[in-house]
Amino acid sequence: MFKARLCIAALFAMCVVGVAASSASAAFTLSSEKCGSGKLMFCYDESATGTNLRELVGEEEVTLKQNKTQEALLEAVLGETVHIVCTETKAKEGVVHQVEPLVKESFATGFVVFEGCALLEPLAAKCKVPATITTKALMVTPGAVLSEVIFKPKEGEIFTEIAFSGEKCPATIKGTQPVKGKQKCTWTSTALAKTHELECTEAGSELKLGGSAATFLDLAEVNLPNLLTVWDVEFG
C-alpha cells in the first residue's frame, strides 16, 4: 500500500495562529488504530521517525500565525490596481473535524482574520480599507493532490467582503466589494512535526474581487495547540 506523508496542519482556520476554537475543550483522542485506511486523515506518533502512526479521532482546535517573511497580499484591477497588504494572519474558531477517520476524510472549519491591513500606493492616497478583514465561515478540504488544501466559503460563494472608503476613492472601487471563489494552498514540508507551514500562492488563486480576477499570497504557521505529539496527515 502506498503511503504518502504530508505534514499537514489544518488550517486553517488557514491559515491559516492563537485564536480560541469554538470550544476550548476541543481536543483529539489518541487512538490505537493504525493509519492507512485509504482515507486522508490526521495521524500522530511519539517519534518523528513515524514508525508507529496511529489515528487521531474527534475535533481539535487549530491556530494560524503568519510567517513574517511573507505578508498577506491581495491584488486585483478594478479600473485601477487594488493591492491590499496585511501584516497578521490568524484563525478564529478554527476546528479540525475527524470524527470518523475510517469512514470520512478530515476537514476544517472556521474563519481567517487578517490584521494590519492597508492599501498600497498609489491607490492608498485615494481609498482606505479596514485594518481588520475577516472571512466568511470557511470549509477547508483536501485538494486534488495530497499536498494541497482548499479554502472555500462554507455556504454560498462569498469568501469575504472589503469596504473601500474615501472622498477621492474611484466609483469603480468605492463601497463594499465582495471577494468570491476559493484559494488553494500547499504544505511546505513532509516531515512529522509539532507545527507545519501553509503557503498560498498566486497559482492557487481562484478568487474574484468585485467581479475582477484576484490573486492572493500568504505564508502561515499551522498548529494544533492541544496536541502534545508530532503529527501529519496520511493517505494510505
3-state secondary structure of 25: coil
- One-letter identity of residue 57: V
Which residue would you say has higher pLDDT here, 67 or 103? Answer: 67
Which residue would you say has higher pLDDT here, 27 or 225? Answer: 225
Q: Give the per-residue pLDDT at 143.
A: 82
Q: Considering only 64-68, 70-74, 104-108, 135-139, which range has the smallest mean pLDDT?
A: 104-108
3-state secondary structure of 23: coil
pTM to 2 decimals?
A: 0.85
Determine what percent of the chain is predicted with pLDDT higher than 70: 86
Cβ–Cβ contacts within 10 Å for residue 139, how many?
Answer: 18
Q: Which three cell numbers stand for residue 69?
A: 517573511
6-20 pLDDT, tens digit per residue, is 333 333 333 333 333
Q: Which three cell numbers stand for residue 157?
A: 460563494
Closest C-alpha to 135, from 20, 17, 12, 24: 12
Q: How far is CA 1 from CA 50, 75, 153, 191, in A?
A: 16, 43, 34, 19
According to DSSP, the residues that pair with 6 across neighbouring strands are: 233
149-197 pLDDT, tens digit per residue, is 999 999 999 999 999 999 999 999 999 999 999 999 998 887 889 998 9
Determine what percent of the chain is predicted with pLDDT higher than 90: 64
Q: Give the per-residue pLDDT at 10.
A: 33
